[in-house]
Amino acid sequence: MKTSDRILLLGASGLVGRALREQLAARGFSDVLAPNRTTLDASDALAVARYFERHRPTHVFLAAGKTGGIYANDTYRAEFIYENLAIQTNVVHQSYLHDVERLLFFGCSSMYPRLCEQPIRETALLTGPLEPTNEPFAVAKLAGWKMCESYNRQYGTTFMTLVPANIYGPGQRYEALNSLVVPALIEQCHEAKVEGRDEVSVWGTGRAARDFVYGDDVADAALFVMGAETPPEVANVGTGRDYTIRELAETIKEIVGFTGVLAFDSTRPEGMLHRLQDTSVLSALGWSTRTSLRAGLQRTYEDFLCIHGGQA
């Protein structure tokens, strides 16, 4: 990938998209298209076709889509499957029709079966039932991965899929119910601190374990794969180690400065009990993460404070 290539970045306002846009600029890419939803509704097939015909990108990063935590996934099931299927179908197909050299699609860890051998290798995809709480979202992401693979087989394209672990970092949506676990806990702990409350409720037992990967590291992995001489068709992105939700919540509590109690609610869903992805595919190519969990959470909280007027 040359700095003069025309890059289409979809989802530039999101966590990974923001990081990608900054890193592309820092590395000298001068022709980056980053339309927002007002400029391009990627779920509109005709609009996507017209956009590709007009702009003719050579490389596409497909980071757009509807995301959320357990509550949002389980509540807005139809929206999650419809919007994600529509976006990726339109973009992948137009990338083929307009001779895009390379496309990178972002999957998610929920694509993996609910129960499978740990750490999870890419070969575990489609080998068992999915976690019920986010099944529609996972099915859409699996379809995107299979679409890329199928176009590669039939048309000789170079469409790749990255499967990140739980992504967090600046640019996330901070909502207690609809966001992912890291921003939700940051928002809850901060509000409890400001309001002088002595307890924060955390969904689940706290025993569920996840690998948390910083958004800037995921963007770095995406650029690494996009520029690789022989890129993998599908690869996990993560740190290679996991933390329990209790460990995560305690770390966030300390960073935020909340001195109250974390109350774990076992009546609430917590998803898969254990999910750690094998990262050997990218490791073998020479890539690894750079950001520790504590450092990443500290930067994420600083981002939260900037958004909320710096109220510590």
DSSP letter string over the chain? --TTS-EEEETTTSHHHHHHHHHHHHTT---EE---TTT--TT-HHHHHHHHHHH--SEEEE--S----HHHHHHSHHHHHHHHHHHHHHHHHHHHHTT-SEEEEE--GGGS-SS--SSBPGGGTTSSPPPGGGHHHHHHHHHHHHHHHHHHHHH---EEEEEESEEESTT----TTTS-HHHHHHHHHHHHHHHT-SEEEEES-S--EE-EEEHHHHHHHHHHHHT-SS--SEEEES-S--EEHHHHHHHHHHHHT--SEEEEETTS----SEE-B--HHHHHHT------HHHHHHHHHHHHHHHTTT--
Domain presence at residue 192: no
Q: Which of 273, 254, 270, 272 is nearest to 262 (CA)?
A: 254
Domain presence at residue 35: yes
Task: Please spell the DSSP secondary structure of 163-180, one letter per residue.
Answer: EESEEESTT----TTTS-
Bridge partners of 183, per DSSP, are none
Distance CA 281, CA 84 (A): 26
Q: What is the pLDDT along the chain (312 residues), one digit of tens a residue?
A: 899 999 999 999 889 999 999 999 999 999 999 999 899 999 999 999 999 999 999 999 999 987 776 677 678 789 889 999 999 999 999 999 999 999 999 999 999 998 889 999 999 999 999 988 889 999 999 999 999 999 999 999 999 999 999 999 987 776 655 457 898 899 999 999 999 999 999 988 988 899 999 999 999 999 999 999 999 999 999 999 999 999 999 999 999 999 999 999 888 876 667 789 999 999 999 999 999 999 999 999 999 999 876 655
Domain presence at residue 105: yes
Domain presence at residue 24: yes
CB 180 within 8 A of CB 69: yes
Domain presence at residue 153: yes
Handedness of CA 206, 207, 208, 209 (dihedral sign): positive
Give the pLDDT score at 137: 92
Domain presence at residue 303: no
Distance CA 248, CA 254 (A): 10
Give the pLDDT score at 292: 96
**Residue numbers of the domain that contains 71:** 7-169+212-240+277-291
Give the pLDDT score at 196: 94
Give the pLDDT score at 67: 74
Distance CA 277, CA 211 (A): 8
Domain presence at residue 116: yes
Give the pLDDT score at 309: 67
Torsion from C-alpha of 12, 140, 124, 151, nearest 10 degrees: -80
Pairing of strands 209-210, 243-244: antiparallel
Give the pLDDT score at 77: 86
In terms of Cβ atoms closer than 10 Å to its own Cβ (0-12, 13-18, 19+), residue 16 is buried
Bridge partners of 198, per DSSP, are none
Domain presence at residue 177: no
234: CB partners within 8 A, 6+ apart:
107, 122, 125, 145, 149, 160, 161, 162, 163
Q: How many domains does the chain have?
A: 1
Here the CATH number for the domain that contains residue 148 is 3.40.50.720
Give the pLDDT score at 175: 61
Tokens 């510590």 belong to which residue?
A: 312
Tokens 């869903």 belong to which residue?
A: 269
